[in-house]
Amino acid sequence: MGSSSSGKGRLVSEINVTPFVDVMLVLLIIFMVTAPMMSEGLEVDLPTTTHVENLPAEQENMVMTIRSDGAIYLDTYAVPLEELEEKLTLLVKDQNKQLFLQADKEVPYGVVVDVMGRIRAAGIDKLGMVAQRDTGSATTDTKNAARATR
């Protein structure tokens, strides 16, 4: 059995793209499933009220969160109370963004008033308050904003 030119022992010089496409489709599905979970935000037990408006969806706003342990966040970034005015001026006032405040219903009133005073000191005149719509059901998770202007 000498060398034959029938082609049975030759290497294939073409790239098989089927496994590559399969891997890319799996990665795309994983990304599509996990992307909405990454933008959920912080866990806060919001107070409820009967008259609220939907929170605007545009990117020209920023949400400040006060959790029940007293931690303060601008969007998802923790901010110490001492640096709050500086960060608000830099991230909200200088960029002409609307600020919305959501505080856990367990946060003491004095803490909320202190934060609102620092917001005012940063030069922000309009502040939206975030609350849940009271539908009579305790299982409602829809977040809505009650707009308030000082």
- As a whole number, the mean pLDDT across the chain is 77
| Residue 79 C-alpha from the chain's centroid | 15
**DSSP H helices in 10-145:** 18-38, 84-88, 109-121
**Which whole number is the average pLDDT over 108-112?**
88
For the chain, the straight-line distance linking the first and the last C-alpha, in angstroms and rounded, comes to 95
| Residue 137 included in any domain | yes
**Which whole number is the average pLDDT over 96-114?**
87
Cα–Cα distance, 55 to 44 (Å, whole number):
16
| Residue 9 included in any domain | no
Q: What is the CATH classification number for the domain harbouring 72?
A: 3.30.420.270
pLDDT in tens, 124-144: 888 888 877 777 644 434 444
| Residue 130 included in any domain | yes
Q: Whats the size of the chain, residue-wise? A: 150
| Residue 34 included in any domain | no
- Expressed as residue numbers, the domain containing 121 is 48-149
| Residue 25 included in any domain | no
Cα–Cα distance, 99 to 67 (Å, whole number):
17
pLDDT in tens, 60-78: 788 888 988 888 998 888 8
pLDDT in tens, 75-87: 888 899 888 889 8
pLDDT-derived band at 58, boundaries 50, 70, 90? low
pLDDT of res. 57: 60
| Residue 28 included in any domain | no
| Residue 24 included in any domain | no
State the total domains in the chain.
1
| Residue 4 included in any domain | no
28 vs 133 pLDDT, higher one: 28
